[in-house]
Structure formats: structure tokens, C-alpha cells
């Protein structure tokens, strides 16, 4: 049997006692109004009432003990109430702390959202740069392909130039040998003719001086023309060699630029992969934060629900205890009043008997 049920049972017993005393009081009142007629009956009932009164006194003592016990239990309940109040304050403090924590989580979530937006903007910018670099890379690839074609053309031209150079060198060599042979032959011939005609020329020097000078000029012009032609072949050969060297340097520069562009493209690709990984990590963090927020919300709702339920139970228990305590107190007071009246009536009856 619970504590409340025990109290209710005791209250019912007190109520029965109260009814009993009330009935006796009414009887005594009737007997008092009819004193002269009922003295004999009151004497007979006096013993019974005395015994009953003793029993009631014992019951009254017992009720007093019960009342003291109830008071002690009420004090114990008050302690429980104080403890519940402290637990209530503790729960309120925990709820306040959780609200603060939730505010911090919310602030962190806003910061993370802002950071995520900034990173999304950065990723968008990097994607645009990456697309631009891809476009540039494609253009460079096309340009490199074009350069390859140009290099191929240069190689073909270079091959042709080499062939032409070799042909020129060979021709120049042949011409030089031919010129040397012709020059030697002409020189030998001239020397021979000169020797043969020397004596004649000495005799005819004055007459044939102009003719000799003309022949000499012709031979000098021929030598100058051949020398000039050889110098032109030499200049053309040097120009071809310089052009070939410039083409080789251009090809080397294009290769270096292509390698640099490939390295830059690889670095940008790595950065893009890192940013994509960061974005995935941020998405995972946002999911975890959403789960934590939902858990905190559920915990707060459960705490509020339990807190409200405890408050309701506490209020109901306090109200019930106060109501029962007041009723018990009033019943005990009425019983004492009835007992006092009965004692007064008994004293009056004893006086009448005397």
C-alpha cells in the first residue's frame, strides 16, 4: 500500500470517528435537554461512555502519533521538494548551458557556412581559371601542333638547305677547282705567251701597250667576278647556318615553354583536386553538424518534457498532501472539540448525580 493510500485510509478512519463523536454529541444534547427524564439512562450509559471515552482517548493519542508521523513525513516530503527544486535549478542551468552550447554550435555553423560559401566561390574561380588554362592549354597544344608542323617544315627546309648547302659547297668546290685549274692554265698560258711574246712585246711595247693593258683589265675583271661569286656563296652559307641555329633555338624555347605549361597544368590540377577534397570534407562536417543539432534538439525536448512531467507530478503531490493534511488537521480539531464537549457533558452529569 502506498503512502498516499495509507493516509487516505487513516483519513477514512478519522472520518468514522468524527461521525461517531458527532452522533454521541447529538445524543448527549438530547439527553441534556431531557435531563430529568434521562438521568437514569445517562447513568447506565455513563460507564459505556467512560469506556468509550477511554478508547477514544487512546484513539486520540494514536491519532496524535499518526499526526506527528504525518508531520515528519511532511517534513521529509519538504526535503524531497527542496531536492526536487535543486534538481529543477540544475536542469535549468543545464538547459541554459545547452542553449549556450547550441548558440556556439549555431555560430560555428554560420562561420562554416560562410567559409564553405567562400570556398565555393574560390572553387568556382579556380574552375574558371582551370577552364581558361584548359583553353589556353588547348590553344598551346594547337600552337605546339602548329609549331610541330612548322618544325617539320623547318626540318624539311633545313634538309633542303643542307642539301642546297652541300650542293653549293660541292659546286663551289668544283668551281674553285675548275677556277684554280683554269687560273693555272691561264696563268701558265699567259706566262708562256708572255715569255714567247716578251721579246716581241719589248720591241712592240710602245705600239701594243694599250692592247696589253686591255687584256690585263679583262683578266683582272674575270678574277674579281669569280672572287665576288665565291664571297656570295660564303655569305649565303653563313646565313643558312645562322637561320638553322635560330630555328634550333626556337624549337628548344618552345619545348621549354611546353614543359612549363604542362607542369603548371599539373599543379593546377592538384590544387583543384585538393579543393574538391576540402569541399567533400566540408560537406561531411555539415552533415555531422546537422546530426549533432538534431540530437541536441531532441535531448532538449526530452529534458523539457521530463521537466514538465516532474513539475506536474510534484505540483499534484504537493496539492494532494496539503489537501489531505488540511483535512486531517480539521478532522482532528473537530474530534478534539467533540471530545471537549463530551467531557463537559460528563462533568455536568456527574454534578447532577451528586
Would you call 97 helix, strand, or coil by DSSP? helix
Cβ neighbours around 172 below 10 Å, total: 19
Largest CA distance in the chain: 221
Predicted pLDDT of residue 195: 62
CA 186 vs. chain centroid, Å, equals: 99
Predicted pLDDT of residue 305: 72
Q: Report the C-alpha gap between 140 and 209 in whole angstroms.
A: 74
**Residue 39 domain-assigned (yes or no):** yes
* CA nearest to 105, candidates 301, 304, 285: 285
**Cβ-contact 18, 335 below 8 angstroms:** yes
- The band of 45, judged by pLDDT with boundaries at 50, 70 and 90, is low
- Whether the per-residue pLDDT at 129 is higher than 70: the answer is no
**Residue 118 domain-assigned (yes or no):** yes
Structural domain for 326, as ranges: 3-123+300-347
**Residue 159 domain-assigned (yes or no):** no
Q: Report the C-alpha gap between 208 and 249 in whole angstroms.
A: 62
Q: Report the C-alpha gap between 255 and 273 in whole angstroms.
A: 27
Orientation angle between helical segments 35-353 and 3-33, nearest 10 degrees: 100
- Whether the per-residue pLDDT at 237 is higher than 70: the answer is no
**Residue 253 domain-assigned (yes or no):** no
What is the chain's mean pLDDT, rounded? 63
**Residue 161 domain-assigned (yes or no):** no
b/e sequence 324-343, b meaning 16+ C-beta within 10 Å = bbeebeebbeebeebbeebe
Report, as an integer, the average pLDDT of 41-51: 63
- Number of domains the chain contains: 1
Predicted pLDDT of residue 87: 73
**Grid-cell match 448525580, residue found:** 353
Q: Report the C-alpha gap between 133 and 215 in whole angstroms.
A: 75
Report, as an integer, the average pLDDT of 165-188: 58
- Interval 279-315: pLDDT, tens: 676 667 667 666 766 766 676 677 667 666 766 765 6
Q: Report the C-alpha gap between 260 and 200 in whole angstroms.
A: 82
253 burial via Cβ count (<10 Å: 0-12, 13-18, 19+)? exposed
Predicted pLDDT of residue 240: 60
Q: Report the C-alpha gap between 1 and 15 in whole angstroms.
A: 20
Q: Report the C-alpha gap between 111 and 131 in whole angstroms.
A: 29
Predicted pLDDT of residue 260: 76
Q: Report the C-alpha gap between 142 and 212 in whole angstroms.
A: 69
- Whether the per-residue pLDDT at 341 is higher than 70: the answer is no
**Residue 284 domain-assigned (yes or no):** no
- Interval 182-230: pLDDT, tens: 545 655 665 566 566 555 655 655 555 555 456 555 655 665 666 566 5
- Whether the per-residue pLDDT at 110 is higher than 60: the answer is yes
Q: DSSP character for 354?
A: -
Angle at 89 between CA 88 and CA 94, to 5 degrees: 95
* CA nearest to 292, candidates 109, 155, 159, 151: 109
Q: Report the C-alpha gap between 322 and 45 in whole angstroms.
A: 39
Residues whose CB is less than 8 angstroms from the CB of residue 268 and which lie 6 or more positions away in sequence, other chains included: 126, 129, 130, 133
Cβ neighbours around 139 below 10 Å, total: 10
Predicted pLDDT of residue 100: 74
**Alpha helices of the chain — where are they, by DSSP H?**
3-33, 35-353
**Residue 215 domain-assigned (yes or no):** no
Predicted pLDDT of residue 135: 72
- Whether the per-residue pLDDT at 258 is higher than 70: the answer is no
**Residue 45 domain-assigned (yes or no):** yes
**Cβ-contact 41, 334 below 8 angstroms:** no
Predicted pLDDT of residue 241: 57
Amino acid at each position: 500500500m502506498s503512502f498516499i493510500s495509507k493516509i487516505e485510509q487513516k483519513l477514512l478512519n478519522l472520518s468514522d470517528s468524527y461521525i461517531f463523536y458527532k452522533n454521541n454529541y447529538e445524543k448527549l444534547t438530547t439527553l441534556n435537554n431531557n435531563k430529568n427524564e434521562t438521568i437514569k439512562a445517562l447513568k447506565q450509559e455513563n460507564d459505556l461512555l467512560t469506556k468509550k471515552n477511554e478508547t477514544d482517548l487512546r484513539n486520540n493519542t494514536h491519532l496524535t502519533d499518526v499526526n506527528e508521523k504525518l508531520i515528519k513525513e511532511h517534513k521529509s516530503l519538504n526535503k524531497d521538494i527542496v531536492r526536487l527544486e535543486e534538481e529543477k535549478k540544475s536542469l535549468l542551468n543545464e538547459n541554459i548551458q545547452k542553449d549556450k552550447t547550441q548558440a556556439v554550435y549555431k555560430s560555428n555553423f554560420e562561420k562554416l557556412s560562410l567559409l564553405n560559401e567562400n570556398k565555393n566561390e574560390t572553387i568556382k574561380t579556380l574552375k574558371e581559371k582551370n577552364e581558361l588554362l584548359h583553353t589556353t592549354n588547348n590553344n598551346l597544344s594547337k600552337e605546339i601542333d602548329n609549331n610541330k608542323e612548322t618544325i617539320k617544315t623547318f626540318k624539311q627546309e633545313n634538309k633542303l638547305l643542307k642539301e642546297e648547302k652541300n650542293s653549293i659547297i660541292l659546286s663551289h668546290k668544283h668551281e674553285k677547282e675548275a677556277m684554280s685549274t683554269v687560273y693555272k692554265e691561264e696563268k701558265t698560258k699567259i706566262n708562256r705567251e708572255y715569255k714567247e711574246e716578251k721579246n716581241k712585246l719589248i720591241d712592240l711595247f710602245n705600239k701594243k701597250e694599250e692592247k696589253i693593258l686591255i687584256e690585263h683589265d679583262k683578266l683582272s675583271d674575270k678574277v674579281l667576278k669569280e672572287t665576288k661569286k665565291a664571297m656570295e656563296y660564303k655569305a649565303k652559307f653563313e646565313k643558312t647556318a645562322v637561320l638553322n641555329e635560330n630555328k634550333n633555338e626556337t624549337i628548344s624555347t618552345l619545348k621549354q615553354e611546353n614543359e612549363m605549361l604542362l607542369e603548371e597544368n599539373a599543379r593546377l590540377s592538384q590544387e583543384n583536386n585538393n579543393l574538391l577534397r576540402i569541399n567533400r570534407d566540408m560537406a561531411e562536417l555539415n552533415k555531422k553538424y546537422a546530426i549533432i543539432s538534431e540530437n541536441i534538439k531532441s535531448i532538449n525536448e526530452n529534458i523539457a518534457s521530463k521537466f514538465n512531467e516532474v513539475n506536474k507530478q510534484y505540483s499534484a503531490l504537493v496539492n494532494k498532501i496539503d489537501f489531505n493534511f488540511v483535512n486531517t488537521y480539521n478532522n482532528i480539531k473537530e474530534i478534539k472539540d467533540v471530545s471537549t464537549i463530551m467531557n463537559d457533558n460528563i462533568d455536568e452529569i456527574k454534578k447532577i448525580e451528586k
